[in-house]
Structure 1
Amino acid sequence: MLLARLLGAAIGGGSLDLVTADGRRRRLGPAGVPALTLWLHDPGVARDLLMNPRLRFGEAYMDGRLSIKGGTIYDMLSLLMTDSTVQGALGRVLETLSPALRRLQQHNPMQRSRRNVEHHYDLSRRFYELFLDRDMQYSCAYFADPAMTLDEAQEAKKRHIAAKLLLVPGMRVLDIGCGWGGMALYLARTTGARVTGITLSSEQLAVARERAEAAGLSDRVTFELRDYRELAASNTERFDRIVSVGMFEHVGLPHYRAYFDAVRALLTENGVALLHSIGRLDGPGATNPWMRKYIFPGGYSPALSEVLPVVESSGLLSTDVEILRLHYAETLRHWRNRFEARRDEARALYDERFCRMWEFYLAGAELSFRTQGHMVFQIQLARSLGAVPLVRDYMVHAERELALAASPPVHGARSTESAI
């Protein structure tokens, strides 16, 4: 049976019971070992998995055409993601064509970028409140202490980034891809900076403006529905600091030069920028086809070898690089557990297929950081060599001062810590 051979290669040293639509059962892996059971409820699933398992497995799970007994979708993916080379017949063809296809898949002009953002981020605020922290940070947290709660780790992430920005009161800051406004509001509240946040999501824009008003920060924080390329083209202002957290994954390789050219154009001569993005430890690759179709159309997480040459050619200087390895795996573990605890509420907002899609996304994303070479990088950038101190000690001191000055409770966002 070809499917059994394909799955057997994927599971490595684990065990799996495969039950096909006609009721036949086959053990994959050693006997006498506890095994998960994969039930195929539709005769067409086997054919689909043989052709393109990386896309079709997730689709079949979403549609209820396959199910798992003896564990969760996380358990099943943990077993199947042992070997990342399993492609299927069509998958191998697509892998061969990958270099040419990648440029097409990551072609994100302004209108397409806006559609891609709307696809994922214009879901209701109520939905994201089910599993995010109280500040609605939808990016990698920073677990300075493994015992931290999600709220504490997200607050630590903001401190960590603020410390690298060397902010003083009155500085003008641009937040590219500001999300629901949490980072911009934090920087204004804790450092006295004046912040402009830009997003392509109408839903995020409305929430961010509402939160700024509720926090009494509307005089120091403004939010706009703008593309970074539009802002750079207008060439009307420059910023002392630029921060971008969890947005670069949506830029696309063909647009990296335009992105860094925009950052350079928008930054003052002595300015500092901080880029926080998902990346790859094992070199250039391709976005998982299921993730690209259902979660992040146009998205790509790059290797540093794809980013740093473009930084260099743009005229910007890399003044600090940090790799955060398992921090996002832990962040996703929190999100996955919180989502599962409030799954009924999510189903009331959308439907069962949507919930199964989100389960698959959170589980697969977490495992990509645990087993398949994904990480997060932070690159500090400047236009001049003297923009930052000679040694990194200033980051530690600034982070400690921000922690001691512990900001008050976040305004305009409901606490969800009790959902863990």
Structure 2
Amino acid sequence: MSARSQVTEILRSGGIEIGGDRPWDVRVHDERLYQRILAEGSLGAGEAYMDGWWDAERLDELFFRMLQARLDRRIRTPAVLGPALLSRLGNAQSRRRSRRVAEQHYDLSNRLYEAMLGPTMQYTCAYYGPDGSDATLDEAQRAKLALIARKLHLEPGMRVLELGGGFGELARFLAAEHGCEVVSYNISSQQVEYARGLCEGLPVDVRQQDYREAANESRQYDRIVSIGLMEHVGPKNYRAFFELARARLKAGGLALVHTIGGNTSRIDTDRWIAKYIFPGGVIPSASQLTRAKEGLFVLEDWHNFGPDYDRTLIAWHDNFAAAWEELKQSEGLDERFRRMWRYYLLSSAGAFRARHLNLWQLVLSQGDIPRYAPVR
């Protein structure tokens, strides 16, 4: 069977046609695509899209159907030993290697992120609420910040340790709106500069350091919060992460971990995502997290609002698309970058829509509080 026939048959089994007229159907511009997909799998498909070899009007719907039908499991590419071997024998998320994701992804132009994320500059899932309200992206991001604060049961004067601080809006919110003192760790130079400006005049200490440096502190904190860091911690470091959090948390304290979660345990990630978006990133599974925190924390609450990430990603994509002409001129971005970024956002939206990915918030204690009331 030819490469074209194999790929066509696989896609058709998921309700996707080559040359069809539905928004999720694939239009092929270069016949070399089929062999490239069979030889290189997701990496080849993503790079071919960046190269303009194929298109789909609705990439999000295409990926939703592919993942819902588990078509990714039907393309068996030759084994690629490098990433898997590094994950097994080395530490792909060591301090030195962890710098790559900051330099390649988070240290991109702040103007790009301002255009995409909006005024809250929240580069994690927004919260549209249990009824899936019709809130705007900015309203849903502010609702996420308020949700985190409610779950942590904050009181004025509390000291909060933030592991992975992003652009600083959560630290600003906790300090300005809840009267907390915040210490925030972040390795991205661009984000740290932005966060320091945002939090100027507030009791917020933004440190350009790896989160693991918090292990060297002697003081403890009333609350610990980690939003969007666990995806970069890596399986070899999950236990050490929870040990660090336990060591820094005061008696009677609470910790909150907000992370993308996968349905199966992995030691590496999709090859296209690893090469172009999040080098060293690994999505943790429920069993990996529970094993890592075993004996250290009591799980007080586990909240999954993964469908909200679908909406968040679509909103980010729409913002990016609307700002593209200005970004192209001001930031010197080219068409290959536009296609890469579009592919990243919309394929991710499809993965959340298919429930292939989740968004979890875990609230943890040391088992020394009488009762925790879940918050939504």
Residue 41 of structure 2 corresponds to residue 53 of structure 1: yes
**TM-score with structure 2 setting the length:** 0.90
8 Å contact from structure 1 (residues 141, 157) kept in 2:
yes
Residue 274 of structure 2 corresponds to residue 292 of structure 1: yes
Tell me which residue corresponds to 2:344. Answer: 361
8 Å contact from structure 2 (residues 60, 348) kept in 1:
no
8 Å contact from structure 1 (residues 54, 87) kept in 2:
no
Residue 269 of structure 2 corresponds to residue 283 of structure 1: no
CA distance in 2, matches of 1:230, 1:60: 40
Query: Which of the pair has more CA radius of gyration?
Result: 1
- Segments of structure 2 that go 5 or more residues without pairing to the other structure are none
SS in 2 for 1:274: strand
Tell me which residue corresponds to 1:132. Answer: 117
Cα RMSD after superposing both structures: 2.5
CA distance in 1, matches of 2:220, 2:313: 35
**TM-score with structure 1 setting the length:** 0.81
Residue 112 of structure 2 corresponds to residue 121 of structure 1: no
Deviations 1:66-94 (A, max 9, x none): 1326x244454445444334357663635
Kindly tell me the number of residue pairs found equivalent between the two proteins: 370
8 Å contact from structure 2 (residues 8, 18) kept in 1:
no
Q: Which moved further from structure 2: 354-363 or 342-351?
A: 342-351
Residue 21 of structure 2 corresponds to residue 39 of structure 1: no
Q: 1:222 aligns with which of 184, 191, 205?
A: 205
Q: What is the Cα deviation at residue 265 of structure 1?
A: 1.1
CA distance in 1, matches of 2:359, 2:23: 34
CA distance in 1, matches of 2:362, 2:22: 45
SS in 2 for 1:169: coil
Q: Which moved further from structure 2: 376-385 or 188-197?
A: 376-385
CA distance in 2, matches of 1:277, 1:223: 21
Q: Which moved further from structure 2: 186-195 or 115-124?
A: 115-124
Tell me which residue corresponds to 1:9. Answer: 10
8 Å contact from structure 1 (residues 130, 342) kept in 2:
yes
Counting only pairs closer than 5 Å after superposition, residues 4-403 of structure 1 correspond to structure 2 as 4-18=5-19, 36-41=25-30, 44-64=32-52, 66-68=53-55, 71-86=57-72, 91=77, 93-94=79-80, 102-103=87-88, 107-144=92-129, 145-213=132-200, 216-217=201-202, 220-232=203-215, 234-280=216-262, 282-285=263-266, 286-313=268-295, 315-348=296-329, 349=331, 350-386=333-369, 390-392=371-373, 395=375
Q: What is the Cα deviation at residue 102 of structure 1?
A: 4.1
CA distance in 2, matches of 1:375, 1:301: 10
SS in 2 for 1:17: coil
SS in 1 for 2:257: strand
| AA partner of residue 258 (structure 1) | A
Q: Which moved further from structure 2: 134-143 or 73-82?
A: 73-82
8 Å contact from structure 2 (residues 251, 368) kept in 1:
no
CA distance in 1, matches of 2:226, 2:278: 18
8 Å contact from structure 1 (residues 81, 371) kept in 2:
yes
Q: What is the Cα deviation at residue 58 of structure 1?
A: 0.7
| AA partner of residue 150 (structure 1) | L
How much identity, in percent, do the aligned residues show? 36
